[in-house]
Chains A and B, each alone.
Chain A
Amino acid sequence: MCTYATVKTELHGSAKGPGGTGSKWFHITDGTVYFDHPVHAMAEHTLNIDFADPSKGPAARVAVELTAQSARDLVEAIQAALASAPDALKV
């Protein structure tokens, strides 16, 4: 199925993606999360995340396509990493 589900969120951080003669870091402002057909992953549906800066054009994007279980595992890993850090550092 084609779920069309799309969730957007503002982000403040950086990502490393194509640029120049190899790859480069760039500031990201937008996250787009959707569960739909992947472009590359060998699964019928994946949890896809685009880390992007639309002001720099469509290519200013780092994309990941994760199986549903991988996405759940990633959420847990992110939560665990955040929980391990002192609150004072998490601003």
Chain B
Amino acid sequence: MSDSLHAETITIAGHGDDQIEAYISTPLHGETRGGVVVIHHMPGYDRSTKEIARRFAELGYDAICPNLYHREAPGAAPDDAAATARANGGVPDERLIGDVAGAAAHLRSLANSNGKVGVIGYCSGGRQSVLAACNLDLDAAVDCYGAFVVGDPPPDRALKMTNIVDQLPNLRCPLLGLFGNEDAYPSPDQVDELDRILTEHHKPHEFHRYDGAGHAFFSVDRPSYRVEAANDGWERIEAFYGSCLGS
């Protein structure tokens, strides 16, 4: 299979049929394949997240990353957009679900789609990946160190965020979780709690936890990057999506 790919910025219909920016990367070969919605981390729709989208295309998937901050900051630099979104309280859950639904629908409309779509999110996107999988017909979900899937955010914070424990019984697809044992959001105890809740509800899930890694260990351009955890994590993701999104 060729590793040639095409990548570009497009416009898709998101929540409420809003036209939002998205970055799409697709393999050039003509074989049918699954798709991946990439949910960017809290620092935004940035270069490193677009690199992740291209990596999924190199792995043989159509990948799309919606700009979750497009409404607050159309055309702004990713860091400025992230600052604006943070100051405004973050991305509302309902809007996130609508934007991921629009991204998944776009992937399924592509000529070579096999109809299967997974979602993956990093940092705040980890929680949003689980949230999307509890509300949308997706085929696989990956949570990379998402905080507040369980556990309560400390009060008096400008970011409007709650846990989604009440939604976990509605999880509609297998979940792969990748966590650093040095992380505090989510803490190892919170990962234990999530594992326990999913087991109680008979939700298929697979968790991998890394010593010596904290939050954001996949971020290649940040001091938090941990090569061993990231490399193993990518292998887990490849195997998981290979199992869930194949033809």
Contact bitstring A42-59, B, C-beta under 8 A = 1, else 0: 111000001010100111
Let me know if B161 and A4 touch, CB within 8 A: yes
Q: Does B138 contact A (CB under 8 A)?
A: no
Complex Cα distance, B157 from A30, in Å, reads 16
Nearest residue in B to A5 (C-beta to C-beta)?
A: B157
Number of interface residues of A (CB under 8 A): 25
Let me know if B223 and A4 touch, CB within 8 A: no
Q: Which of A5, A7, A58 contacts B76 (CB 8 A)?
A: A58
Let me know if A57 and B76 touch, CB within 8 A: yes
Complex Cα distance, B196 from A29, in Å, reads 46
Let me know if B80 and A58 touch, CB within 8 A: yes
Q: Which of A2, A43, A58 contacts B124 (CB 8 A)?
A: A2
Complex Cα distance, B43 from A6, in Å, reads 14
Residues of B contacting A72 with CB < 8 Å? none
Residues of B contacting A43 with CB < 8 Å? 223
Stretch at the interface among A20-28, A32-40, A76-84: A32-40
| Given contacts A3-B185, A6-B87, A52-B87, A59 and B159 within 8 Å (CB-CB) | no
Let me know if B80 and A1 touch, CB within 8 A: no
Nearest residue in A to B180 (C-beta to C-beta)?
A: A1
Let me know if A37 and B224 touch, CB within 8 A: yes
Complex Cα distance, B84 from A30, in Å, reads 11
Let me know if B183 and A59 touch, CB within 8 A: no
Complex Cα distance, B87 from A63, in Å, reads 13
Let me know if B185 and A63 touch, CB within 8 A: no
Pick the most buried of A7, A32, A39, A59: most chain B CB atoms within 10 A of its CB: A39
Residues of A contacting B159 with CB < 8 Å? 4, 6
Let me know if B72 and A1 touch, CB within 8 A: no
Let me know if B157 and A58 touch, CB within 8 A: no
Let me know if A52 and B83 touch, CB within 8 A: yes
Q: Does B238 contact A (CB under 8 A)?
A: no
Expressed in whole angstroms, the minimum distance between the Cβ of A46 and any Cβ of chain B is: 10
Q: Does A8 contact B (CB under 8 A)?
A: yes
Nearest residue in A to B86 (C-beta to C-beta)?
A: A6
Q: Which residues of B contact A (CB under 8 A)?
A: 42-43, 72-73, 76-77, 79-84, 86-87, 123-124, 145, 147-148, 153-154, 157-159, 161, 183-185, 214-216, 222-224
Q: Which residues of A contact B (CB under 8 A)?
A: 1-8, 30, 32, 34, 36-37, 39, 42-44, 50, 52, 54, 57-59, 61, 63
Q: What are 25 A-B pairs at a CB distance below 8 A?
A: A1-B185, A2-B124, A2-B185, A2-B216, A3-B185, A4-B42, A4-B147, A4-B153, A4-B185, A32-B86, A32-B87, A34-B86, A39-B43, A39-B82, A44-B223, A44-B224, A54-B84, A54-B87, A57-B73, A57-B76, A58-B72, A58-B76, A58-B84, A59-B80, A61-B83
